[in-house]
Amino acid sequence: MSYEHVAVERDDRITIITINRPDVHNALNARAQQELLEAFDAFDADSDQWVAIATGAGAKAFCAGHDLKEQAEGGELSPLPKGFAGLTSRFDLSKPVIAAVNGAAMGGGFELALACDLIVASSNASFALPEPKVGLAALAGGIQRLPRDIGLKAAMGILLTGRRVSAHEGFELGFVNEVVEDDVLSAARRWAREIAEASPLAVRATKEAVLRGLDAPLAQSIGEVWHYPAMKAMLDSEDAIEGPAAFVDKRKPNWQGR
């Protein structure tokens, strides 16, 4: 598949999706949004790809959010299929996605990172939801996800002021998993490889169960977890037999993803 604003690389079981508009700090215009939607669709549909990494080209920005220049010139600002960047409303994706934040993650860029399952950030990365400063609001999930990730008062302090948060503060607040001084993409690949060593079906079942259980009472989520689609697929799989067999044989499992 050919893209203008997105680069896609496949490294064994890992898909790396890079926003490639460094001249505008990787802000997303309509075409870039459509390409990201297609890239994540392709990742979701490819049974050989188990983990994705989302990052931005260059050293200055992960993603500056929505292309405000396009918006000022009359561009459409409305909900997109699967949300901003093709991910923020992709609630049916059970495969894990890692954000490798290599610089500024502003507005929708921060929301894209929050929609990922892990955030690995370079030490010069920064995060903000500055939409109120330009007469808008963080409508791609930032308003909802940030309080869930770090608590109400801490989130309100960021949401209502639009202030920038450093990578190190993000780590202290709990929405950043790791801060690295060197190559953030290499660190994200390390996380992805470690995830890919586990059973892909077990990973997907775990992600699905965690996200479904966030808003359900504990007893309900524990009782229903056996019936979730990814959990049923895991329990009925060949890998559910291969894992224990490999443990008994003291060998590395040969995961098939089925």
Pairing of β 126-128 and β 104-106: parallel
End-to-end CA distance of the chain: 26
Angle between helices 200-213 and 239-249 (to 10 degrees): 120
**Which of 111, 169, 172, 194 is flagged as catalytic?**
111
Nearest to 125 by CA among 176, 54, 186: 176
Secondary structure element (H or E) that encloses residue 235, with its range: helix 229-235
**Which of 131, 172, 181, 208 is flagged as catalytic?**
131
CA separation for the pair 76, 169 (Å, rounded): 34
CA separation for the pair 102, 187 (Å, rounded): 11
Residue 131 a catalytic site member? yes
Strand partners, 66: 28
Residue 111 a catalytic site member? yes
Quote the Cα angle for 226-14-139, to 5°: 70
Q: Mind telling me the catalytic residues?
A: 111, 131
